[in-house]
Each structure stands twice: as structure tokens, then as C-alpha cells.
Chain A
Amino acid sequence: MKEVELDCLGEACPIPLVKAENKLKEMEIGDVLIVQIDHSCAMKNVPEWARKEGHNVEVEEIDDGEWEIIIEKVK
């Protein structure tokens, strides 16, 4: 199992989403992608997209206004 961090701090929506989409494509099933964001809009649309794709998603607020979206690729 690989774990990849994707630094999207300071990036406005929809950049984190597009980056996460591209990164997840090149990853293997079972790998975990951690997207770090500080744009509140990405906090909504990244998990929404990943859940719709059927992946396991968790959101963690690591600091005020900073989140980590943990996506486990399942298919």
C-alpha cells in the first residue's frame, strides 16, 4: 500500500479537485491519497466527487481552515 500526499495549500477551487483526479488515476487500488487543502470550497467538492466515484473518503481538520482529505482508492 502506497500513501501519497498532495499539497494543494493555497490553491483555489477547482485546482485541488483536478489535481486529485489526475493523481488518483495513476495510483493503484488500495493506495491512499491525502489531499491537503485550505480552500473551503475544495473541502466540499473533493470529497463529494471521490464519494461519487465510490472511493472511501474521510475529512480531517488539521488546523483552523486547513483540511486533509484522505481518499482510499477502491476501484
Chain B
Amino acid sequence: MDEQKTTGIQRSSTRTKRVRKKKKNQLPFGIAVLVLAIIFGILLGTKNQGMPIFWITGLAFGYILQRSRFCFTASMRDPFLTGSTSLTRTVLTAFAITTIGFAAIKYGAFIKGLPIPGQSYVVPISFATAAGAFMFGVGMVIAGGCASGTLMRVGEGFTMQILSLFFFIIGSLWGAHDFGWWKLNVILKGKAVFLPDVFGWIGAVIIQLLIIAMLWIAADKWENRKNLT
């Protein structure tokens, strides 16, 4: 992203003469926040050994999300809106990396005979998955961000998304309230599939990576098709 101070595009004289507000130096604030973050991390460490790790991971995740302008909403929306799939392919690349990482963690526990972590997230696929995905998709495009995106932009000080966050919490509470009904009537009627049970560990990783690669190629084709027209 090239952010230039002077513009090469010819602009009318009235605008270029406009006096710019001098930017405040934010460095002292940055250092203060960093010191507070470290103190808070140490305090967390005295309460619970694991907490500082979550604190550091959370801060790192937020920082990377914000600086990279990463947006899950845009990755799903821009292919339809602008034909751009750069973020779509980024998300697919991230999925490919996490596929390998999670498979390694799970397989590591499996060969040691330990309980495989995260197996409680292997839940049945059903109509509820599709219905929920559809509603979430409509909601996130209107709200201007998914869960992580909304949190990140509240942190940036974007006022409208404080409203999004408020209703996101209300929606989550409502969802939690009715989850029992969905689980009993819809979700439990589906079938839970854990890919390594079906294809073996190597097979599952290869198949998942192949599907991601196919989606990546499709996304790339979609973007270039739009360029030609």
C-alpha cells in the first residue's frame, strides 16, 4: 500500500492549500500502553500460569489482524462485490497452514496415546450449519465485520461498530438461549465426521489441502476472468 505525502494527480488549488491539522505524536501513548500490557501480563501470571500466554497470543492476533487489514468478511464479500479475491486466497492460505498445524497437534497426541485435543469441536453437520452460515453472512456484511473484525474496529475507535458489538452480544446470547432446541431437533440428527477416521491421518490432510488448493485456483480464475471483461 503506497501512502504518499504528495500527490501526483493534479488537484484544484483550493484543496491543496488547505491547512492540515498537525498530527499528535502518539509514541508516548504507545509506550504507556505497552508498559501497561506488560504489567497486566505479569499480574495475570501471578494468578494463573497459562493466562499470560493467552494474553500475548490475543494481543499478537489483534495486532496482526489490524495491521494487515485482514478481514474475513471481505474475503467472502469482495468476490461478489468487486471481483477481487486477494483476501479470499489469503484466508485459504491461512486454512492450509492451520490444517497442517492442527493435524500435527492432534496426531502428536494420538501417537502418544493421549486424548486428542479439540475433539469436542467435531460436531454433526446438518441443516443448522447452512442456516447459521447464511444468517451470519448476511449479518456480517451489514455490520461491516465478523466477530474478530468488529472487535478490532471497536479498538480502532470506529463508533458505528460499537453498535455492531452491542447487537453481536445480544445475538450471541439469544443464540445461546435457543441452542438447546437446535441441538435437540436439528444438530443431533446430522452425522459427525472426523476426516482422519475416514481417510486416515495422511489421507485427511492431503484431501483437505487438495480441496483448499482447488478453491484457491477457482478464486484466482474468478479474479482474472473479471479482469478480461
A interface residues, Cβ below 8 angstroms from B: 1, 3, 10-15, 17-18, 32, 34, 38-41, 43-45, 47-49, 52, 56, 58-65, 70, 72
Contacts and interface: CB of A to CB of B under 8 A. Distances in A.
Given A45-B74, A59-B1, A63-B23, A40 B156 contact: yes
Contact of A14 (B21, B141, B156): B141
A45 B78 CA distance: 8
B66 A40 contact: yes
Given A12-B145, A12-B160, A41-B144, A63 B21 contact: yes
Interface string B1-18: 111110111111001000
B10 A1 contact: yes
Contacts, number: 102
Contact of B1 (A32, A34, A41, A47): A47
B227 interface: yes
B88 interface: no
B69 A52 contact: no
A12 B11 CA distance: 27
A40 to B, nearest CB: 6
Contacts of B74: 13-14, 41, 44-45
Contacts of A40: 66, 69, 153, 156, 158
A65 B156 contact: yes
A17 B15 contact: no
B71 interface: yes
Contact of B71 (A41, A52, A56, A64): A41
B7 A48 contact: no
Nearest to A62: B20
A45 to B, nearest CB: 6
B3 A61 contact: yes
Interface in B134-161: 141, 143-145, 149, 153, 156-161
A18 to B, nearest CB: 7
7 contacts: A1-B12, A13-B73, A15-B144, A40-B66, A44-B69, A60-B4, A70-B7
B71 A48 contact: no
Contact of B7 (A12, A60, A64): A60
